[in-house]
Structure 1
Amino acid sequence: MSLGARARRWAWLCLAYLALALGVIGIFLPGLPTTPFVLLSAYAAARGSDRLHAWLLAHRLYGPMIRDWQATGAVSRRAKHWALGTMALCAVIFFLTAPRWWMAATGTAIMALVGTWLWLRPEPEKPTAD
């Protein structure tokens, strides 16, 4: 493996672990999203570590989300509700704490755009019993 290929692999691996760490922190910290960071981690892991990518795909919590996204760009309704609820809570916090109203309005407008895009994503198909 050439030095350049090895450096790219390490860069992808570092990005994968950084994104995964931010995703885990996002579980506990309102305003920091979990799903995009986990998806970024899976994307980077697929390019930097087969072992980490396989672990993410097999993970009890993250695996279904990643597989749905990779297959069809789908996001579960539960994840959509959580994301939109968190964004709404953050919007309230923005308006209560921002020094200027336009700062809160800007952040809220961005979250509204992201929330609309997220809500319009397809949902995973439910398995049918044959």
Structure 2
Amino acid sequence: MLAGLLFVGLGIVGAFLPVMPSTVFFIIAAVFFARSNPVWEAKIMNHPKIGPPIRAFRERGAIARSAKIAAVTAMAISSVISAFLLHGWWRFAPAGVCALCAVFILTRPNE
């Protein structure tokens, strides 16, 4: 339950910070609440704003096209910035991780 609360907190912060996703944290919170507090899981799942994308991901693994574009764009920008700021072979590590994440995101069905 504590982990679920932590991820809800991160999701709330992510709702106000443009560089931090919120839906991912609410999905993780719902997973933790499914085992510890089904009432809170239902509140997340039935929330009018955050519930539909979470249900779509849980039921079909679907991600909205606009969310895919935003995520991949943000990862590309952060990879370029990291390549300029880091030195040595580390400069390519963020781009590699982002590329793997982008492949996962882009292979999910559209919502």
Separation of aligned partners in 1, 2:13 and 2:78: 16
Check conservation: 1:95, 1:101, Cα contact below 8 A.
no
- 1:70 CA drift (Å): 1.5
Are 1:113 and 2:100 an aligned pair?
A: yes
Q: Percent identity of the aligned residues? A: 28
C-alpha deviations, 1:73-119, integer Å up to 9, x for none? 11111111111111112112212322x14222111111011101110
Query: 1:36-91: per-residue Cα shift (whole Å, max 9, x none)?
Result: 32211111111111221111112222101111012111111111111111111211
Q: Between Structure 1 and Structure 2, whose CA radius of gyration is higher? A: 1
Distance 1:104 1:25, change over 3 A: farther
Task: Provide the TM-score with structure 2 as the length reference.
Answer: 0.86
Q: Give the SS at the match of 2:109.
A: coil
Q: What is the number of residues matched between the two proteins?
A: 110
Compared with structure 1, are the counterparts of its residues 93 and 24 closer, same or farther at alpha carbon in structure 2 (3 Å cutoff)?
farther
Q: 1:23 aligns with which of 11, 14, 19?
A: 11
Structure 1 length-normalised TM = 0.75
RMSD over equivalenced CA pairs, Å:
1.7
Partner of 1:45: 33
Change (3 A) 1:18 1:119: same
**Mapped partners of 1:97, 1:24: distance in 2:** 29
The letter of the residue matching 2:33 is: A
Q: Distance in 2 between matches of 1:112 and 1:74?
A: 19
Aligned equivalent of 2:77, options 89, 107, 114: 89
Is the partner of 2:41 in helix, strand or coil?
Answer: helix
Which consecutive unaligned segments of at least 5 residues does structure 1 have? 1-12, 125-130
